[in-house]
A and B are shown apart, each in its own frame.
Chain A
Amino acid sequence: MGDEVLYQKVFPVTGGDFDKAGEVSTQIKAILKGSGIDSTVIRRVAIASFEAEMNVVIHADEGEVDFILTPSDICLVVSDRGPGIEDIELAMQEGWSTASDDMREMGFGAGMGLPNIKKSCDAFEIESEVGKGTTLHMVINHNRHQP
Protein backbone atom coordinates (compact mmCIF):
# COMPACT_ATOMS: atom_id res chain seq x y z
CA MET A 1 0.00 0.00 0.00
CA GLY A 2 2.72 2.42 1.05
CA ASP A 3 0.20 5.15 1.75
CA GLU A 4 0.17 7.48 4.71
CA VAL A 5 -2.44 6.47 7.31
CA LEU A 6 -4.90 9.35 7.82
CA TYR A 7 -7.12 7.52 10.30
CA GLN A 8 -7.15 4.09 11.91
CA LYS A 9 -9.42 2.46 14.44
CA VAL A 10 -9.92 -1.12 15.62
CA PHE A 11 -13.48 -2.10 16.54
CA PRO A 12 -14.16 -5.30 18.52
CA VAL A 13 -17.04 -7.55 17.38
CA THR A 14 -18.71 -10.11 19.68
CA GLY A 15 -19.90 -13.39 18.16
CA GLY A 16 -23.59 -14.15 18.69
CA ASP A 17 -24.47 -10.62 19.84
CA PHE A 18 -27.32 -9.84 17.44
CA ASP A 19 -28.48 -6.79 19.39
CA LYS A 20 -25.25 -4.96 18.60
CA ALA A 21 -24.61 -6.59 15.22
CA GLY A 22 -24.05 -3.87 12.65
CA GLU A 23 -23.04 -1.14 15.11
CA VAL A 24 -19.42 -1.13 13.93
CA SER A 25 -20.40 -0.65 10.28
CA THR A 26 -22.84 2.12 11.23
CA GLN A 27 -19.95 3.86 13.03
CA ILE A 28 -17.57 3.41 10.10
CA LYS A 29 -20.20 4.85 7.75
CA ALA A 30 -20.67 7.84 10.06
CA ILE A 31 -16.89 8.47 10.18
CA LEU A 32 -16.69 8.39 6.37
CA LYS A 33 -19.71 10.65 5.92
CA GLY A 34 -17.75 13.44 7.54
CA SER A 35 -14.73 12.91 5.28
CA GLY A 36 -16.05 14.28 1.99
CA ILE A 37 -15.71 10.90 0.25
CA ASP A 38 -18.29 10.18 -2.47
CA SER A 39 -21.52 8.64 -1.11
CA THR A 40 -21.48 5.73 -3.58
CA VAL A 41 -18.00 4.78 -2.33
CA ILE A 42 -19.15 5.08 1.29
CA ARG A 43 -22.11 2.81 0.51
CA ARG A 44 -19.76 0.15 -0.92
CA VAL A 45 -17.54 0.33 2.17
CA ALA A 46 -20.57 0.11 4.47
CA ILE A 47 -21.97 -2.94 2.64
CA ALA A 48 -18.61 -4.78 2.70
CA SER A 49 -18.09 -3.91 6.36
CA PHE A 50 -21.62 -4.89 7.40
CA GLU A 51 -21.52 -8.26 5.62
CA ALA A 52 -18.12 -9.04 7.15
CA GLU A 53 -19.28 -7.90 10.60
CA MET A 54 -22.40 -10.08 10.33
CA ASN A 55 -20.26 -13.06 9.33
CA VAL A 56 -18.29 -12.65 12.58
CA VAL A 57 -21.51 -12.33 14.64
CA ILE A 58 -23.11 -15.33 12.91
CA HIS A 59 -20.19 -17.74 12.73
CA ALA A 60 -17.38 -16.76 15.12
CA ASP A 61 -16.71 -16.43 18.87
CA GLU A 62 -15.17 -12.98 18.56
CA GLY A 63 -13.40 -10.79 16.09
CA GLU A 64 -12.39 -7.28 15.14
CA VAL A 65 -12.66 -4.79 12.32
CA ASP A 66 -9.49 -2.80 11.60
CA PHE A 67 -10.50 0.31 9.65
CA ILE A 68 -7.73 2.24 7.90
CA LEU A 69 -8.13 5.38 5.80
CA THR A 70 -5.30 6.48 3.51
CA PRO A 71 -5.23 9.29 0.91
CA SER A 72 -6.23 6.80 -1.82
CA ASP A 73 -7.92 3.83 -0.14
CA ILE A 74 -10.21 2.58 2.58
CA CYS A 75 -8.92 -0.70 3.99
CA LEU A 76 -10.90 -3.05 6.19
CA VAL A 77 -9.27 -6.07 7.81
CA VAL A 78 -11.85 -8.23 9.54
CA SER A 79 -10.41 -11.11 11.53
CA ASP A 80 -12.16 -13.61 13.75
CA ARG A 81 -11.52 -16.48 16.07
CA GLY A 82 -14.01 -19.07 14.93
CA PRO A 83 -14.59 -22.23 12.91
CA GLY A 84 -12.84 -21.04 9.75
CA ILE A 85 -13.96 -21.87 6.20
CA GLU A 86 -13.32 -25.39 4.88
CA ASP A 87 -13.77 -24.64 1.18
CA ILE A 88 -13.29 -20.97 0.28
CA GLU A 89 -14.21 -21.50 -3.38
CA LEU A 90 -17.57 -22.99 -2.33
CA ALA A 91 -18.15 -20.21 0.22
CA MET A 92 -17.69 -17.63 -2.54
CA GLN A 93 -20.58 -19.08 -4.57
CA GLU A 94 -23.84 -17.15 -4.41
CA GLY A 95 -26.47 -19.05 -2.45
CA TRP A 96 -24.08 -21.31 -0.52
CA SER A 97 -24.30 -20.87 3.25
CA THR A 98 -23.68 -22.78 6.48
CA ALA A 99 -25.88 -20.43 8.55
CA SER A 100 -28.50 -22.11 10.75
CA ASP A 101 -32.27 -21.83 10.32
CA ASP A 102 -32.28 -19.41 13.29
CA MET A 103 -29.93 -17.09 11.38
CA ARG A 104 -32.12 -17.33 8.28
CA GLU A 105 -35.13 -16.27 10.32
CA MET A 106 -33.13 -13.18 11.27
CA GLY A 107 -32.69 -12.33 7.60
CA PHE A 108 -29.19 -13.72 7.05
CA GLY A 109 -27.75 -16.89 5.55
CA ALA A 110 -28.82 -16.26 1.95
CA GLY A 111 -25.31 -17.15 0.86
CA MET A 112 -24.74 -13.67 -0.51
CA GLY A 113 -22.35 -12.31 2.13
CA LEU A 114 -18.94 -13.09 0.64
CA PRO A 115 -20.06 -12.48 -2.99
CA ASN A 116 -21.51 -9.12 -1.86
CA ILE A 117 -18.21 -8.23 -0.20
CA LYS A 118 -16.22 -9.14 -3.32
CA LYS A 119 -18.56 -7.10 -5.52
CA SER A 120 -18.21 -4.06 -3.27
CA CYS A 121 -14.38 -4.08 -3.09
CA ASP A 122 -11.60 -3.16 -5.51
CA ALA A 123 -9.37 -5.78 -3.87
CA PHE A 124 -10.45 -8.67 -1.67
CA GLU A 125 -8.60 -11.61 -0.11
CA ILE A 126 -9.58 -14.33 2.34
CA GLU A 127 -7.31 -16.32 4.62
CA SER A 128 -8.87 -19.04 6.71
CA GLU A 129 -7.76 -21.91 8.89
CA VAL A 130 -10.32 -24.50 9.95
CA GLY A 131 -10.76 -24.51 13.72
CA LYS A 132 -8.88 -21.20 14.15
CA GLY A 133 -10.56 -18.42 12.23
CA THR A 134 -10.85 -16.26 9.16
CA THR A 135 -9.36 -12.96 8.05
CA LEU A 136 -10.76 -10.84 5.24
CA HIS A 137 -8.67 -8.10 3.61
CA MET A 138 -10.75 -5.53 1.75
CA VAL A 139 -9.63 -2.43 -0.14
CA ILE A 140 -11.86 0.20 -1.73
CA ASN A 141 -10.32 3.10 -3.65
CA HIS A 142 -11.89 6.43 -2.86
CA ASN A 143 -9.98 8.97 -4.88
CA ARG A 144 -10.67 7.70 -8.36
CA HIS A 145 -13.66 6.75 -10.49
CA GLN A 146 -15.54 3.57 -9.69
CA PRO A 147 -14.27 0.45 -11.48
Chain B
Amino acid sequence: MKLSKVVELTKGEYLCRQKNDPDIICCMASDMMSDVLAFAEAGSLLITGLTNSQSVRTADIADISGIIYIRGKKPDEQTVELAGELSITLISTELGMFETCGILSAEGLRGVC
Protein backbone atom coordinates (compact mmCIF):
# COMPACT_ATOMS: atom_id res chain seq x y z
CA MET B 1 0.00 0.00 0.00
CA LYS B 2 1.29 3.43 -0.93
CA LEU B 3 1.94 5.76 1.99
CA SER B 4 -0.43 8.29 0.39
CA LYS B 5 -3.20 5.66 0.69
CA VAL B 6 -2.43 5.36 4.42
CA VAL B 7 -2.93 9.12 4.73
CA GLU B 8 -6.23 8.88 2.88
CA LEU B 9 -7.54 5.94 4.96
CA THR B 10 -6.64 7.52 8.30
CA LYS B 11 -7.74 11.02 7.22
CA GLY B 12 -4.22 12.03 8.08
CA GLU B 13 -2.30 15.23 7.53
CA TYR B 14 1.27 15.38 6.23
CA LEU B 15 3.63 17.16 8.65
CA CYS B 16 6.71 16.33 6.59
CA ARG B 17 6.37 14.90 3.10
CA GLN B 18 9.05 13.36 0.90
CA LYS B 19 9.14 13.39 -2.89
CA ASN B 20 8.70 9.63 -3.13
CA ASP B 21 5.55 7.75 -2.13
CA PRO B 22 6.94 4.50 -0.70
CA ASP B 23 5.15 1.16 -0.64
CA ILE B 24 4.33 0.08 2.90
CA ILE B 25 4.16 -3.66 3.51
CA CYS B 26 4.00 -3.84 7.29
CA CYS B 27 3.36 -1.71 10.37
CA MET B 28 4.73 -1.50 13.88
CA ALA B 29 2.58 0.15 16.55
CA SER B 30 4.50 1.06 19.70
CA ASP B 31 5.55 3.88 22.01
CA MET B 32 8.66 1.95 23.09
CA MET B 33 11.50 2.73 20.72
CA SER B 34 13.63 -0.25 21.75
CA ASP B 35 10.76 -2.54 20.75
CA VAL B 36 10.67 -0.76 17.39
CA LEU B 37 14.43 -1.25 16.98
CA ALA B 38 14.09 -4.93 17.92
CA PHE B 39 11.12 -5.88 15.77
CA ALA B 40 10.34 -3.39 13.01
CA GLU B 41 11.34 -4.41 9.50
CA ALA B 42 13.06 -2.04 7.09
CA GLY B 43 10.47 -0.12 5.11
CA SER B 44 7.81 -0.36 7.84
CA LEU B 45 5.34 2.30 8.91
CA LEU B 46 5.61 3.27 12.60
CA ILE B 47 2.33 4.08 14.39
CA THR B 48 3.05 5.87 17.67
CA GLY B 49 1.94 8.44 20.21
CA LEU B 50 5.55 9.36 21.01
CA THR B 51 6.30 12.70 19.38
CA ASN B 52 9.81 13.53 20.60
CA SER B 53 12.90 13.61 18.38
CA GLN B 54 13.71 10.02 19.36
CA SER B 55 10.75 8.78 17.30
CA VAL B 56 12.40 10.26 14.20
CA ARG B 57 15.90 9.09 15.21
CA THR B 58 14.56 5.57 15.72
CA ALA B 59 12.83 5.63 12.33
CA ASP B 60 16.09 6.69 10.67
CA ILE B 61 18.17 4.03 12.44
CA ALA B 62 15.67 1.23 11.67
CA ASP B 63 15.10 2.28 8.01
CA ILE B 64 11.42 3.05 8.69
CA SER B 65 9.70 4.84 5.80
CA GLY B 66 7.21 6.93 7.72
CA ILE B 67 5.67 7.72 11.09
CA ILE B 68 1.98 8.25 11.79
CA TYR B 69 1.28 10.06 15.05
CA ILE B 70 -2.08 9.17 16.59
CA ARG B 71 -4.76 11.16 18.45
CA GLY B 72 -3.86 14.39 16.65
CA LYS B 73 -0.41 14.51 18.23
CA LYS B 74 2.26 16.54 16.49
CA PRO B 75 6.00 16.76 17.16
CA ASP B 76 7.69 20.13 17.67
CA GLU B 77 9.17 22.12 14.79
CA GLN B 78 12.72 20.93 15.51
CA THR B 79 11.65 17.29 15.21
CA VAL B 80 9.80 17.96 11.95
CA GLU B 81 12.96 19.63 10.59
CA LEU B 82 15.02 16.60 11.64
CA ALA B 83 12.60 14.32 9.75
CA GLY B 84 13.10 16.49 6.66
CA GLU B 85 16.89 16.17 6.97
CA LEU B 86 16.61 12.39 7.37
CA SER B 87 13.98 11.99 4.60
CA ILE B 88 11.28 10.51 6.82
CA THR B 89 7.60 11.20 6.13
CA LEU B 90 5.57 12.35 9.15
CA ILE B 91 1.79 12.10 9.29
CA SER B 92 -0.69 13.05 12.01
CA THR B 93 -4.13 11.48 12.36
CA GLU B 94 -6.97 12.33 14.74
CA LEU B 95 -7.69 8.60 15.11
CA GLY B 96 -6.49 6.64 18.13
CA MET B 97 -3.97 3.80 18.04
CA PHE B 98 -6.65 1.09 18.01
CA GLU B 99 -8.68 2.65 15.20
CA THR B 100 -5.58 3.41 13.12
CA CYS B 101 -4.31 -0.17 13.42
CA GLY B 102 -7.80 -1.59 12.75
CA ILE B 103 -8.31 0.39 9.57
CA LEU B 104 -4.88 -0.40 8.15
CA SER B 105 -5.12 -4.07 9.10
CA ALA B 106 -8.56 -4.37 7.45
CA GLU B 107 -7.05 -2.90 4.28
CA GLY B 108 -4.39 -5.61 4.18
CA LEU B 109 -1.36 -4.20 5.97
CA ARG B 110 0.27 -6.66 8.35
CA GLY B 111 2.05 -6.32 11.66
CA VAL B 112 5.72 -7.15 12.08
CA CYS B 113 5.45 -9.84 14.75
Contacts and interface: CB of A to CB of B under 8 A. Distances in A.
B61 A106 contact: no
Contacts of B54: 18, 21-22, 54, 106-108
B23 interface: no
A115 to B, nearest CB: 7
Interface of A, secondary structure class, is: helix
Interface residues of A, number: 26
Contact of A107 (B52, B62, B78): B52
Interface of B, secondary structure class, is: helix
Interface residues of B, number: 21
A116 B55 contact: no
Given A19-B53, A43-B42, A108-B54, A116 B34 contact: yes
B50 A107 contact: yes
B58 interface: yes
Interface stretch (A4-12, A44-52, A122-130, A138-146): A44-52
Given A51-B37, A107-B31, A119-B38, A46 B61 contact: yes
